[in-house]
Amino acid sequence: MVYEDRAFREAEIRRFYPGTRTYTYLDNAAVGLVSTNVCNAMAAITEAHRDFGVAAANSWGPLFADVRTRAARLVSGSSSRIALTQNTSMGIALVANGLNWNEGDNIVLPAGEFPSNSYPWQMLRNRGVQIRPVPMANGHVDLPSLYEAVDSRTRVVTMSAVQYSSGYRYPLEEIGDALRSHSALFVVDGTQAVGAMRVDVNAAYIDVLAVSAHKWMLGPFGIGFVHLSDKAFDALRPSTTGWMSVRDPFAFTAEPELAEDGRRFESGTEIAAGAAGLGATLELVETIGAERVESIVLDRVALLRDMLKTRGFRLLYDYPPANRSGIVLAVSDREESAAVHQRLLREQVLCSLRGGGIRFSPHYFTSDSDLEHASKVASG
């Protein structure tokens, strides 16, 4: 079922999110609210563990398979190329630690990337790998400058699908197509996009997409996933190999026979409750419809932008529609952003201070009245 009627959508969807009764929640770019579905799914796993121990654990194989299938479907990928991870950092580390680096290799990325997509690469400097940060202007990198930085020794080109500090949504399909002539892996941090904005790993020729569940996915902490292209799957070696990385974990062979799918990058015992929560939020996105989710979020953003401008706020970044995401950054020319932020928090409006402005990030459960209340409180 896809929720098309707006009034029905608001009434039905908000009932899954009790947090909306307490807060005007506009901070999904930091941490998303989890639904009752997610809580119930995680509780069911924990209760089964409590009551049945190993008998419960032995029954969870179909759960993990279902989560991989749903995650792959969301990003138009293949379930055989999904690996469950703890977070974006672990997903990026699969690449940073999984390539056979040589002195003189380089990595190209926008300057100002979120640390999860910056620190792991910087740690490779001690192996003679050059880091090439391309300066950003107006909250995003200039694409011709990005391409110019790529050469025959570039092993990875990486960026966020959406810049956390500006809300700029990169044209991933255009970028992926431009990079196809290079041997470098195209690595994308999808955490500020997936769950709200659609990402198609095949259409964008993305080699590695790393996602944490706790932001726009509206899932639990400590769970996420990566999707690997065939090119990345063949190029990467598991940097941590454990008993769950093999074809048959219960064969206990003397030598590891790696799984022929993404499970080879999952080293140890699964995060069962987290996977259940991730599965529940993926199912809810499917129920609403991923295209509809994106439409709702962008509609919320458009309305919020208009409300803020009407009340005297200035948008720090005013991108064309194609480059907008679920993030809005605004400032008041009459009052310091820190003071505005504190007033919003006192009135139970949750948002963040980023880049000298207020970062608002509504989601599909956000109502018109939420946006009206937030813009009114912000203006004092």
Statement: the pTM of the whole predicted model exceeds 0.85: yes
For residue 182, give both structure tokens.
């290079």
Domain containing residue 15: 6-26+289-379
How far from chain centre, in Å, is Cα 224?
A: 8
Residue 201 lies in a domain: yes
Q: Look at residue 342 and tell me if it is in a domain.
A: yes
Same domain membership, residue 294 and residue 282: no
Strands 352-354 and 357-360: antiparallel
Asked if residue 64 belongs to a domain, the reply is: yes
From 262, 287, 312, the end of a domain falls on: 287
Per-residue pLDDT of the chain (380 residues), as tens digits, is 444 555 446 668 999 999 999 999 999 999 999 999 999 999 999 999 999 999 988 899 999 999 999 999 999 999 999 999 999 999 999 999 999 999 999 999 999 999 999 999 999 999 999 999 999 999 999 999 999 999 999 999 999 999 999 999 999 999 999 999 999 999 999 999 999 999 999 999 999 999 999 999 999 999 999 999 999 999 999 999 998 899 998 899 999 999 899 999 999 988 999 999 999 999 999 999 999 999 999 999 999 999 999 999 999 999 999 999 999 999 999 999 999 999 999 999 999 999 889 999 999 999 999 999 999 999 98
> In the prediction, which pLDDT does 2 show?
45
pLDDT value at residue 12: 84
What's the confidence (pLDDT) of residue 327?
Answer: 98
* Residues 356 and 228 reside in one and the same domain: no
Kindly report the backbone phi and psi dihedral angles of residue 233, in degrees, each rounded to the nearest multiple of 5, phi listed first. -60, -40
**Domain tally, the chain:** 2
In a domain, 143, yes or no: yes
Are residues 277 and 321 both part of a single domain? no
Answer with the one of 265, 287, 309 that is the final residue of a domain.
287
316 and 264 belong to one structural domain: no
Q: Per residue in 147-196, pLDDT tens?
A: 999 999 999 999 999 999 999 999 999 999 999 999 999 999 999 999 99
- Residue 214 belongs to domain with CATH number: 3.40.640.10
Q: What angle do CA 348, 283, 369 make, to 5 degrees?
A: 30
Note whether 182 and 319 are same-domain residues: no
On whether both 248 and 333 belong to a single domain, the answer is no
Mark whether 88 and 161 lie in a shared domain: yes
CATH number for the domain harbouring residue 325: 3.90.1150.10
- DSSP labels for 117-161? GTHHHHGGGGGTPEEEEEPEETTEE-HHHHHHT--TTEEEEEEES
Domain stops at, among 254, 271, 287: 287
17 and 59 together in one domain: no
The reply to whether 1 falls in a domain is: no
Same domain for 298 and 282:
no
Q: Please indicate, yes or no, whether residues 85 and 97 belong to a single structural domain of this protein.
A: yes
3-state secondary structure of 299: helix
* CA nearest neighbour of 122 among 137, 104, 134, 109: 109
pLDDT given for residue 356 in this prediction: 87
Say yes or no: 11 and 49 in one domain.
no
Residue 34 lies in a domain: no
Question: In this structure, is residue 122 part of a structural domain?
Answer: yes
Helix (H, G, I), strand (E, B) or coil at 219: coil
Q: Is residue 142 part of a domain?
A: yes
Q: Are the CB atoms for 218 and 197 separated by under 8 Å?
A: no
Do residues 262 and 311 share a domain?
no
